[in-house]
């Protein structure tokens, strides 16, 4: 089963990215029944990043982060979106059969506009480029969170419209793969952890910065001696996500019995986060010193994906009447 997912290089990876997706990607990759395709979505990121040097650096960071967190170039195909010139070509083909109304209903576009982001055609047509990313490698399934289902539904609609327009089942219509055990991770302010909110705990931040962020988690004013609330408590939720199951009863008693302050609990959380990502952080430092290796991985991924990409594009060009037969 071929699985595809991408990530925009718009910021540093945080624990919400890992618990919400990357951990599951690694598990899927390690299942021999699966063939994982993972890409750095740098073309998508152009809708918000206007600095070439920033985008290039962010793209390296994302690729290195993925490798450090367990995506294995020997088991998965890792590549950079902009290295596949056929993606924007297919996106144009798909745009000619995509109804305006479909794009106007896009939740992601409307959400960004509502948050004050200046709209542009790239944001509006984001679902078409995303459809090209998926369809060009004949992905069987695309991992999505429950709040991302509309994106894949739009891809399915676009693929069906293209197939119907040209009277052939040219493009494989992908299925959704709802990730199991997807954690909703709160940020340091209690909202959902998101780069957009600036409330993240970055996996590869310097230890001092990570400590500062953990210690700044918003808490209530319950006295040290009193039991602490558990519902809606960010420190409680994060501790539960990182504490080994066998140790959780003891950790939970810190809240239910009282006598422990939030400062002590935050120090415990920091230790757990550092322990969880200790090997990944060390590997990430190695990759920072060997940037040529990361670039080699991305080039190799592009070559490994070339066969299926070439087959899809040859078929699409033929039915559309582009080039010589």
How many residues comprise the chain? Answer: 325
Collect contacts of 192-196 with beta carbons under 8 A, ≥24 apart: 192/16, 193/14, 193/15, 193/16, 194/16, 195/10, 195/11, 195/12, 195/14, 196/115
The phi, psi pair for 40, rounded to 5°, reads: -90, 115
Does residue 43 contact residue 214 with C-beta atoms inside 8 Å? no
* Separation of CA 77 from chain center: 16
Q: What angle do CA 130, 132, 134 make, to 5 degrees?
A: 75
CA 250 distance to own-chain centroid? 33
Exactly one of 61, 74, 141, 195 is catalytic; name it.
195
Contact 157, 128 (CB under 8 A): no
Assess whether 195 carries a catalytic annotation.
yes
Q: What is the full DSSP assignment across 154-181? A: HHHHHHHHHHHHHTS--S---EEEEPTT
Going by C-beta distance under 8 Å and a sequence separation of 6 or more, which residues neighbour residue 141? 1, 2, 3, 174, 175, 176, 177
Under 8 Å between Cβ of 45 and 10: yes
240 as an active site residue: the answer is no
Give the H/E segment covering residue 76: strand 76-80
User: What is the spatial distance between Cα 269 and Cα 282, in angstroms, rounded to a whole number?
Assistant: 20
Active-site residue, 112 included: yes
- Exactly one of 74, 110, 141, 192 is catalytic; name it: 192
Q: Which of 61, 112, 141, 266 is catalytic?
A: 112
Judged by DSSP in three states, 143 sits in strand
Is-contact 165 97, C-beta < 8 A?
Answer: yes
* Phi, psi dihedral angles at 87 (to 5 degrees): -60, -55
Active centre residues (catalytic):
112, 192, 195
């Amino acid at each position: 089963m071929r699985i595809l997912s991408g990530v925009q290089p718009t910021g540093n990876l945080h624990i919400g990215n890992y618990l919400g997706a990357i951990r599951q990607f690694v598990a899927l990759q390690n299942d021999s029944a699966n063939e994982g395709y993972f890409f750095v979505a740098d073309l998508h990121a152009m809708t918000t990043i206007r600095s070439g040097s920033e985008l290039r650096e962010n793209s390296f960071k994302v690729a290195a982060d993925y490798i450090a967190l367990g995506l294995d170039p020997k088991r998965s195909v890792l590549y950079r979106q902009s290295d596949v010139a056929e993606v924007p070509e297919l996106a144009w083909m798909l745009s000619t059969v995509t109804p305006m109304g479909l794009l106007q209903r896009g939740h992601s576009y409307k959400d960004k506009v509502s948050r004050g982001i200046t709209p542009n055609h790239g944001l509006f047509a984001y679902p078409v480029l995303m459809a090209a990313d998926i369809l060009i490698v004949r992905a069987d399934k695309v991992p999505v969170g429950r709040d991302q289902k509309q994106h894949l539904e739009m891809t399915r609609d676009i693929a069906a419209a293209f197939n119907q327009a040209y009277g052939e089942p040219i493009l494989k219509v992908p299925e959704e793969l709802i990730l199991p055990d997807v954690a909703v991770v709160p940020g340091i302010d209690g909202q959902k952890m998101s780069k957009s909110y600036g409330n993240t705990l970055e996996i590869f931040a310097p230890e001092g910065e990570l400590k500062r962020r953990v210690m700044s988690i918003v808490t209530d004013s319950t006295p040290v001696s009193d039991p602490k609330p558990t519902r809606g408590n960010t420190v409680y939720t994060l501790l539960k996500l990182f504490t080994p199951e066998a140790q959780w009863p003891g950790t939970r008693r810190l809240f239910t019995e009282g006598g422990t302050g939030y400062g002590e609990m935050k120090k415990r959380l920091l230790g757990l986060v550092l322990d969880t990502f200790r090997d990944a952080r060390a590997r990430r430092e190695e990759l920072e010193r060997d940037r040529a290796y990361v670039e080699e991985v991305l080039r190799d991924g592009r070559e490994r994906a070339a066969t299926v990409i070439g087959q899809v594009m040859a078929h699409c060009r033929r039915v559309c009447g582009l080039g010589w037969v």
